[in-house]
Amino acid sequence: MKTRWLVLVLSFVFLMIASASFLWFHRIETPPMPQCSVEGGFYKEAFFLELHTTPGNTIYYTTDGSTPTQNSKVYDGKIWLQNRSGEENIYHNFQNAVRDWLDYPVDATPVQKGTVIRAIAVNEWGFESEVLTQTYFVGIEPPQNGYVLSLVFEPDDVFGDDGIYVTGKEYDQWYLAEKQFGDTPTPNFEKKIEVPAIMELMDADGDVMNQKIGMRIQGASSRQNYYKRLNLFAREEYSGSNVFDEKLFGVNTHSVMLKASDIDAMAHDFISDRAVSTQKCEPVDVYLNGEYWYTTYMMERYDSQYYEQYYGAKDVVEVEDSYIEQLNKDSIPTYMDFSQWVEQSDCSTEAFWQQLQTRMDVQSYIDYVAINYYFGNIDVQEWRNYRLWRGTTSNENDIYRDTRWKWIVYDIDALSWASFKFEGQDVATANTFVTTGTHPSKPLAESVLCTKLLENPQFRKQFALSVMDIVNNNFAVERAEKILASYGLGMDFMNGYFQKRPIYAPQHLAELLNLSGTLETVSVTTSNPEAGSVTVNTSKIDLSDGQWDGKYFSDYPITVTAVPNAGYRFVGWKGAANTTEATITIPVDGGIVLEAVFAPL
């Protein structure tokens, strides 16, 4: 009996040692990923691609985006790559990317196509290498501005019966039965499902980034569209890193979204100096498994990493559409507490004004309301497309690391579709402080928060001055022309919106605040723009040509500050004020001219 037990124990030990040896051998004998003769990118002429591996291994590959297995094509020494743009579309032929898909007209016109090569090497033991993924564009020009984004994925994960982009099997069975049974199933594209993918970002020289990621459908009502927005995530479970390999916007980034609005994209360029959070963008031509899908913008997402990157705030509470999302778990007074305090207070008093400034970044809120007004955003109110945040720990040495509420510019693309909501009225003339046309929402300036705050005279003053700062500087016609040009657009964009809006904005502001003063011209000059800068109220003005002109209502004086550059000193003001004080507050009745005088040290 003892001998039998001894044999069993020794046999078990032998098996364990053998298994461990096998696993160790597996680890050291896993073949290296195949190498390609040329990297993915843009090529003018068709060519043979060669793949290489170490002796004794076999290469298997696919061209449809799927992960290669030992049942895939065997590499036989060369792969012919050519321009495939004339071939029949694959993904554009899927109708069920919208709810009522039987009525969706598929456009069979062939679109541009690249070729996705995915390959593995398999050794004699059957062990597989990591997957090589490269996208090749033959006879297709690289983008002149921005990137090509090749998204590579298992076709069934996105367009199959359970795919994230389509209605899905359950919905389609109900739909094809003419909706005869049960409740309406939720289409797959309305579910928050994430699938693995490869994000291959390319410029004219080839790959900028090639990384395993997670991919989801993005947005709310936009999920109903055929050409859907996407969220892309870097996660450790996919690539071993929770940030993208490339600093896409000059910072470490955890996730990006793909959105299709010029207005959303260019907003950062207009308002990046204001006291609101904004999203940087890059234009991208998006391909799905090699098939051109759309040209859009790759945009930063607001998440915990965003706040840490830009503000050094690790613990953040965020509000979205009046829903509190605590990105940390501290028990902190919420936004609802704050808004109820405002609603129940006598906002007209000096005591309220002093306390208000400890609980909210007043400038941030004013900028938020003014920017949404200027962009004609009729799709925002306190419960819709409304975002703000606050840190949970204070750092008195850092203005961004305090516990005051700060506002986020988000989803302001309504200008692109607002015209029909005003029933023929030119949107540039619409007072979106107080009207949204036929859109069923209440504008921000008529929200409970803004209405209450406008009872305070100090808030009204700061609001009036800040709005005109934004009109005079951020949206100055000359500046708007340069920004639009950088997007390949002219001043005729949106029926000349940015040409006309500065004419009507002062009128709308006067109506909102019942201003009784006159609109006066303020001119600031300097003989040497290299010697220093000037700030008017909240804006550093453009003195590159030696003179800046803006308009302000005579109801309130303006505050002007001169700041000398290194190697210079501020001598004093000339013109409407003669003083050596760097900061002055001066009325603008009748219009004024100020000269900032600087001199070398």
For the chain, which residues make up each domain, given as ranges?
A: 86-110+131-300, 313-515, 517-601
Lowest mean pLDDT among 154-168, 252-266, 506-520: 252-266
Question: How much is the mean pLDDT over the chain?
Answer: 91
Q: Which of 66, 64, 84, 68 is nearest to 34 (CA)?
A: 68
Q: Which residue has the higher pLDDT, 262 or 591?
A: 591
CATH of 517-601, one of 1.10.645.10, 3.30.420.40, 3.40.50.2300, 2.60.40.10: 2.60.40.10
Q: What is the pLDDT of residue 329?
A: 45
70-106 as b/e, with b when 16 or more CB fall inside 10 Å? Answer: eebeebeeebebebbbeeebbbbebbbbbbebeeeee
Q: What is the pLDDT of residue 331?
A: 44
Where are the strands (E) in 219-349, listed by range? 229-233, 255-259, 281-288, 291-300, 316-320, 323-326
Give the tens place of pLDDT for each residue, 483-505: 999 999 999 999 999 999 999 99
Dihedral over alpha carbons 238, 241, 246, 250 (to 10 degrees): 130
Half-sphere exposure of 285 (CA within 13 A, CB side): 20
Please state, in angstroms and rounded to a whole number, the distance separating the CA atoms of residues 37 and 50: 5
Enter the DSSP assignment of 195. E
Q: What is the pLDDT of residue 327?
A: 54
The answer, yes or no, to whether residue 316 has pLDDT greater than 90, is no
Sign of CA dihedral 233, 368, 428, 435: positive
pLDDT band of 3, cuts 50, 70, 90: low
The answer, yes or no, to whether residue 5 has pLDDT greater than 60, is no
Give the tens place of pLDDT for each residue, 529-576: 999 999 999 999 999 999 999 999 999 999 999 999 999 999 999 999
Please report where in the chains the tokens 């999203």 appear, as a residue: 279
Q: What is the pLDDT of residue 322?
A: 63
Q: What is the pLDDT of residue 400?
A: 59
Give the tens place of pLDDT for each residue, 378-427: 999 888 889 999 988 776 666 556 889 999 998 898 888 888 888 888 99
Lowest mean pLDDT among 44-53, 145-154, 214-223: 214-223
The answer, yes or no, to whether residue 325 has pLDDT greater than 70, is no
- pTM (two decimals): 0.88
